[in-house]
Structure 1
Amino acid sequence: MKLFQRFDIDFDPDAMETYLSKHGRLFISAAVALLVLMGIVAVTVLGLALRGGEQTMVPNVVGKELTAALLELQAKELYPRIQLRYSNSATDKGTILEQDPRPGTIVKAGRRIRLVVSRGMVVDKVENYIGQNIDDVKIHLQTLFATASRPLLSLREPPLYKYSSEPAGTVLEQKPEPGTNIDGPTQLELVVSRGPENAMIKVPDVVGLPFADALERLRQAGVWFTCSSRPVENRENPGAVVSQLPAGQAVVAANTVVNLVIAEPASLPEETVFGIFAQNLPQYPYPLEIKLESISPSGERKRIFVGPCPGGDVTLPYQVERGSVLVLSVLNREVIRKTVE
């Protein structure tokens, strides 16, 4: 009361009580009405938010030019998500190859439609492959058309091989010729070198060498080999080559196979195994690179041998931990794996 007297305000509590008793219901009714109105507004806004845009049907734009497809989507209040991909025809460049969702699907306005648009052909002319190694050509074509549904340029298998002074595996001729226009899927015919017909080589002398060193010496000389093993005799060095045929320094035809005999190691560390890995491969028109690796039980990977092989019998000595897996690959493609027991 002192506060009201200080500011010279005439405050009558009895009159205030009388006023509230007469108009209290009005205040309560107004407050309830305001709360109801706020609830109606909130429900309406929430319903509009959940319903979103109007529904519309996805048009069929496959095969149409990109600009025409975009106009159709815009008319339906739909938006594109564009991906580019090479195709097998130069004429469909800039046209729609695929769409998602499919035509006729009912979606909400504002939905994004995935469009796959053709970039045309990845190449439009035949490249010059003469002088390249055929294995490199194969890898190049596989990489070039990795994303195409059908390769635009493929190799005719098997290619034609003939003897030549060029290194084995070199492309000598091709058809179609370099620079030829590509109008659709085309087969590439190649003539490949077998190497010189009457090439001669000198066989290195590997008797007395540890078997790993002997194989490396033969690999460097371009000589293929077969291996066998037997127990150590007399004063032979365990794990070394004890005989070879043809003998060292002999001059022989380039396709001659040298037979090696290895003295088995006399003593090995615990859980270590020596043996000869044996596998028969198809005969190749020219030597292809093979690789023998070991994978230990702990997962460690080691190379045992890498070098050119004409095919046929593969016999490679190994000394690995028991339980290891031996993996043979040709041109980096796994052929077989065997577990060492």
Structure 2
Amino acid sequence: MRRVLPALGLAGALLATLVTTGAAGPASAHGSGDRPSRSSAEPLVIAHRGASGYRPEHTLEAFRLAIRMGADYIEPDLVATRDGVLVARHENEISGTTDVATRTEFLGRKATKTIDGVSVTGWFTEDFTLTELKTLRAKERLPLVRPTNTTFDGRFEVPTLQEVVDLARSEGRRLGRTVGIYPETKHPTYFQSIGLPLEEPLVDLLRRNRLTGRKAPVIVQSFETANLRKLDKMTDVRLAQLLDAAGKPYDFVVSGDPRTYQDLAKAANLKWISTYADGVGTNKNLLVPRDAGGKLLAPTTVVRDAHRVGLVVHAWTFRAENQFLPTDFRLGADPNARGDLTAEYELFYGLGLDGVFADQPDTAVAARAGLPD
């Protein structure tokens, strides 16, 4: 049986409602049975876009700080430049994360495009060469929520994936430990449609850096399924299927597949996911839903069901500010003030999670240190 934290108020009461069953069930057929079984090791701390609670996201400084705070993995979202270089940005539309809108030389690049069925206006990485993109400077994406982060606006470049890999290795050597990378392919169907597929340059980069085996400190994730199934045939690194609490993968929209993310979180579809992926990265609300007022409801069986078919479960996103927490763990009325994030970690760690995506990775490391042996 997975270890469960001692009852701690509401977290303990919620955990008590979760039905646990001893055996983990059969292993997945993915990888011809060569996938390592679930480990009893402590859960991973994955720095969500770096230490994005303290520095502008997807900058080398955010990733460096996250590593020094004890993160096991750093997570860059990947989009492509016009010349096919993978860079770390939350979206290919970059007006919210760089100073591009203030750069008069690029005013003519502003465009309106349809990305995954949604009309988006702004500036897009695929319209810039890497050299041009490197002239831009990053800025805080949530300035009203994290005003202290804005003091770093204009200081940092947009990093390439290679620079993120180099940083993970250099910082890992300095600290005497391995630091993994957990890249997400953003809008793969869209990038495929414009002749800039993400999979080939990603696999090529991993090969050049000798990050190719199942034990390599790499996990590749995506909200779409088709590109993960393609990657499963191209590389042996571990893969994670992202599952949101609403909507459906965009490749399902294109192909006419009626299944939603909530459908994919059901036991039968988790078994299907295990044929091409090693884990799932789930919205927290798929694991512990909230009611209309933001109050926590009883946990679901997603963690148990995923473990039964050999999938690890990593949940996202853990953020300290009240507005991102369930009402049960908010402190005071200020939506941007910090709430009781430790209580949320205690609840989710107690479900038997294998990892968490955190904007403030130091908080996840500290909460993990308090787990019982």
**TM-score normalized with structure 1 length:** 0.20
Larger Rg: 1
**TM-score normalized with structure 2 length:** 0.19
